[in-house]
A = this chain, B = another copy of it.
Amino acid sequence: MKNKRSNKGIQTSIPEPALRRMPTYLGYLRRLAEKGIEHVSAPAIARDLHLDPTLVTKDLAYTGITGKTRVGYEVRALMLSIENFLGLSKVNEAFLVGAGNLGKALINYPGFTDFGFRIVAAFDVAPPIVGQKVGEIAIQHLDNFREMAEKKKAMVGIITTPAHAAQSVADLMIGWGVKAIWNFAPVHIKVPENIILQNTSIYANLAVLLNKLNTRQSSNETD
């Protein structure tokens, strides 16, 4: 039994970097679709997005689609395949805690709807912020969280608080049934095994950029 990829679990899950590239493909395809373009090949995508052609082919294959030799992929079908793969068909709802600038930016981030993602309620504790309206959402006091969490069920909790508040907010969210936490606070928070934790730190990117800048290593492109 020669298995080269040592498959310790059952299902080989797809590489995370591939997952991270999916939104890029999707955005690109949507722009093609708007222009009325109906077919696209992996090498063409690769050229436009500065990626390796084989990499594109493999990424697309993960979503389950299959292309036509010489023609490439059908744009609409490919979009649907990716959307489906990412689970964008069903709407995922989220609570947000910490309605400072970053929180507000997320609340009316235009692209979320395209990703089947919706922030349904937002909370803060600071008097000047509580009561403000951001887009459709009125910022509530965090004390209302419990009540709200009983009424509306959201799967995702977004933390955009200062670092010191992040852990207790996370605990609160988990206590009220959130399944995943998207943490923008620059601290590592502890969550139980069964809770999904996604950390997003602006600083990680800044560090890469500053390092490149200060060591002058150009033409290096990442996210």
Binding site for B on A (CB under 8 A): 13, 16, 19-24, 27-28, 31, 48-50, 85-88, 90, 92, 100-102, 104-112, 115-117, 155-156, 162-163, 179-180, 182, 186-188, 193-215, 217-223
Contact = CB atoms under 8 A, between A and B. Distances in A.
Contacts of A110: 162
Contact of A101 (B105, B208, B210, B221): B105
A162 B220 CA distance: 23
A16 B87 contact: no
Contacts of A187: 27, 31
Given A27-B163, A104-B101, A198-B222, A203 B111 contact: yes
Contacts of A217: 13, 196
Given A199-B223, A214-B87, A156 B209 contact: yes
For this chain, the copies found in one complex come to: 2
A196 B223 contact: no
Nearest to A50: B188
5 contacts: A13-B215, A27-B187, A86-B211, A87-B210, A193-B218
Given A23-B203, A101-B108, A223-B201, A87 B196 contact: no
Contact of A48 (B85, B105, B106, B188): B188
Contact of A196 (B85, B162, B201, B218): B218
Contacts of A86: 207, 210-211, 214
Contact of A115 (B20, B92, B210): B210
Given A16-B208, A197-B220, A200-B202, 13 more contacts: A20-B205, A27-B186, A92-B213, A101-B104, A111-B203, A115-B206, A116-B210, A155-B213, A182-B205, A198-B209, A199-B223, A200-B223, A204-B223
A45 B105 CA distance: 32
Q: Which of A23, A104, A109 has the most CB of B within 10 A?
A: A23
Contacts of A201: 23-24, 223
